[in-house]
Amino acid sequence: MAVPGHALHLQERIDRNVLATWVSMTSVVVLLTATAWFLGQIWDFGIPAAMIGFVIAATSSLAAYFSGDGIVLGLLRARPAEPDRHRELMNVTEEMAIASGLPVPRVYVIDSPASNALATGRDPSNAALAVTTGLLERLTRNELQAVVAHEMSHVRHRDTLYAVVVAVLVGTIVTMSDIFWHTARSGEIRTSRDHSDSKGEAVILVIGILLAVLAPLLARIIQMAVSRRREYLADLGGAELTRNPGALADALEKIAGDPDRFDVAYRGVQHLFVLNPVDPPSSGVTTFANLFNTHPPLRERVRILRGLAHQPDGRAGDSALPV
């Protein structure tokens, strides 16, 4: 129900996402600077490594914030939808913008036989959503509307801001760690302070390696954990916009049953999609495997949506969520 508290809950969710974005941007900058400092201790660059780390992290944070949507859309080779050919897509997008009281986002199409969709952009005025041509072919009008509604909910909750920043930052961390391992393996590591303090050196070396190993892993777990609850909430938000939760359940099942995998999608942006394009959705509930999945188990999402379909106005509060 749009109970009095509803607008407040929404605002809280938005505030939390904006805060989470700043916190993760700051912690990535700190993490990268620290990692670079440790690497500088064990591997002599000749220039202050911490400074390089800071500059790289700060630059990628700012780039993520201001042009993350462009980076993501470019990576996926999305092109703007055409008013004539993609009339239905543009219409359902307008419908969902009206239903959520937000500006109409930019609409993009990705040439791929796979079925998937994503939203991006730092705020509703800069939002964009993209769907694959495969999705357009397979879904009915109502199902397409449901998928667009799910994406509009991400925009409405400011998940898109958080998601795109996380995408770029995780990409940076993983790349930096790759560079480190590549260099380490080719045996270029040498100590900067020869023979002076071998004990302290060893400690620093161990911490440095730990950071380099843990950083990408940690980044990925954060990326997964935060995004799963958002998916449930976007499903509910989408159902609230369309008042037709069954259509999203149908669409999810169709997308999951699709044998075509999305080949352009790479790991850094997997959490942006309506259904995870990299790891096939696990249909059962297996706790450990789910730790590394950005999306909740499909069966669970469909079960919740089908449950909503039997309620008079197709809505529910957060209470319908599994904890």
Partner 1 sequence: MTPAGYLLVLLGILALWLLLLYNGLVKWRNIVAGAWAQIDVQLKRRYELIPNLVETVRGYARHERDLFEQIARIRAAALTAGSPRDVASADTQLAPAMRSLFAVAEAYPALKADQHFRSLMEELTATENKVAFARQYYNDSVRVYNTKTEQFPSAVLAARFGFRPAEYLEIDAVQREVQQVTF
* 125 touching partner 1, by CB under 8 A: no
* 9 touching partner 1, by CB under 8 A: no
Dist. CA 256–CA 265, nearest whole Å: 15
* 4 touching partner 1, by CB under 8 A: yes
10 Å CB burial of residue 132 (0-12, 13-18, 19+) is: buried
Q: Which is nearer to partner 1, 91 or 282 (CB)?
A: 91
Give, as one character, the DSSP assignment of residue 158. Answer: T
* 36 touching partner 1, by CB under 8 A: no
* 14 touching partner 1, by CB under 8 A: no
Does residue 240 have an active-site annotation? no
Task: Identify residue 45 by its one-letter amino acid code.
Answer: F
Nearest distance in Å: CB 98, partner 1? 5
Give the binding range for partner 1 (CB under 8 A) out of 3-11, 20-28, 121-129, 154-162.
Answer: 3-11
Cβ neighbours of residue 223 closer than 8 Å, sequence gap 6 or more: 166, 170, 271, 294
DSSP run (H or E) holding 75: helix 49-75
**Radius of gyration in angstroms for the set of CA atoms belonging to the chain, rounded to a whole number:** 22
Nearest distance in Å: CB 40, partner 1? 49
Residue 53 CB coordination number (10 Å): 23
Which is catalytic among the residues 88, 137, 151, 201? 151
Query: Of the candidates 41, 60, 100, 126, which one interacts with partner 1 according to CB under 8 A?
Result: 100
CB-based contact 99:242 (threshold 8 Å): yes
Q: Which is nearer to partner 1, 139 or 173 (CB)?
A: 139
User: Which residues contribute to the site for partner 1 (CB under 8 A)?
Assistant: 2, 4, 6-7, 87-88, 91-92, 94-96, 98-101, 140-142, 145, 241, 243
